[in-house]
Amino acid sequence: MLPIDAAAHSSRWRRRHPVDKAVLGLGLTLLAISLPPWPGAALVLLSALVVLLGPAGVPRRRLWRAYRVPLGFCVTGALTLLVQVGGPGGFVSLADDGPVRAGELLLRTSAASLGVLLFAFTTPMSDLLPRLVRAGVPAPVVDVALVTYRMSFLLLDSMRRIREAQAARLGHTGRAAEWRSLAGLGATAFVRAFDRATRLQAGLAGRGYDGTLRVLVPEARVSVRFTAASCALLATLAALTFVLERPLT
């Protein structure tokens, strides 16, 4: 199991309905995208951090390990706005408003990423996917997503075991050995994945599969208080943004 999935299953908000957490997490993401980057996105980023480390109870190290990957993409995308191609300054030169635009983009994307991580760190996929059928998503699409999600962990575990066996047989002692081990890893993982899929199909057919996977979903109700508090927080952030925008700019 991936660390973010393990954190979601052990989260304080594990028993809350996904709608409650979607209103808060995805609402923060929408605010980060739609509000002015300063001070709107900065307020959203700070609020998301407080909620993640406070009420949600996400460990700091796990949050940083999950956040540093999208943050790296955010920084890489912002750096491209510092330069311009062509113009009077030459083929490649510094953009006049590059630092401002780069900072705005970095604020927006980093804040939006934290909003998505808030939802991911508190909502296991096994709780979310079966409920998508009630939201209008076709059942076969949900079944494929659910099976793919569960099979991915088995595939990752198989790849880990193969890598350990290759290392025990000195398969990583040189560059040539590394390439041979990598090729063997890909071939073996493909064969095992295909074999698991075949056995899964045979097992479902033997149990009278009729096109729908029936799974147990934990009982949960939408909390009116939690949703109202989330909407109040979002409204407060939007109001603060428009109140502080002129004095800060």
pLDDT in tens, 109-123: 999 998 888 888 888
> What are the tens digits of pLDDT across the range 155-200?
888 888 888 888 888 777 888 888 888 888 888 888 888 888 788 7
Using 50, 70 and 90 to split pLDDT, how confident is the model at 90? low
Top pLDDT among 183 and 247 is at 183
- pLDDT value at residue 120: 87
Of the pLDDT bands very low, low, confident and very high (cuts 50, 70, 90), residue 17 is: confident
Q: Does residue 212 have a pLDDT over 70?
A: no
> Is 80 exceeded by the pLDDT of residue 23?
yes
Average pLDDT of the chain to the nearest whole number: 82
pLDDT at residue 19 is higher than 70: yes
| Domain residue limits, the chain | 3-123+220-248, 131-206
Kindly report each contact of residues 162-167 with a partner whose C-beta sits within 8 Å and lies 24 or more positions away, as own/partner.
162/188, 162/189
Report whether pLDDT(208) > 70. Answer: yes
User: How far is the C-alpha of 78 from the C-alpha of 104, rounded, in Å?
Assistant: 8
pTM here? 0.75
Please compute the mean of the pLDDT values over residues 233-248 and round it to a whole number: 83
pLDDT of residue 166: 83
* pLDDT average, residue stretch 29-38: 88
The model's pLDDT over 47-78, given as tens digits with 9 standing for 90+, comes to: 999 988 888 888 888 888 888 888 888 888 88
Q: Is the pLDDT of residue 209 over 80?
A: no
Label residue 91 by pLDDT band (50, 70, 90): low
**Whole-number Å distance between alpha carbons of 151 and 107:** 36
At residue 238, what is the residue type?
A
Peptide bond into 37 cis (omega under 30): no
φ, ψ for residue 83, nearest 5 deg:
-125, 160
Of 89 and 151, the structure prediction assigns the larger pLDDT to: 151
Tokens (6 digits) for 72:
């790296």
The CA–CA distances, whole Å, from 113 to 61, 91, 165, 243 equal: 16, 33, 37, 25
63 vs 3: CA distance, rounded Å: 10
Q: How confident is the model at residue 141 (pLDDT cuts 50, 70, 90)?
A: confident
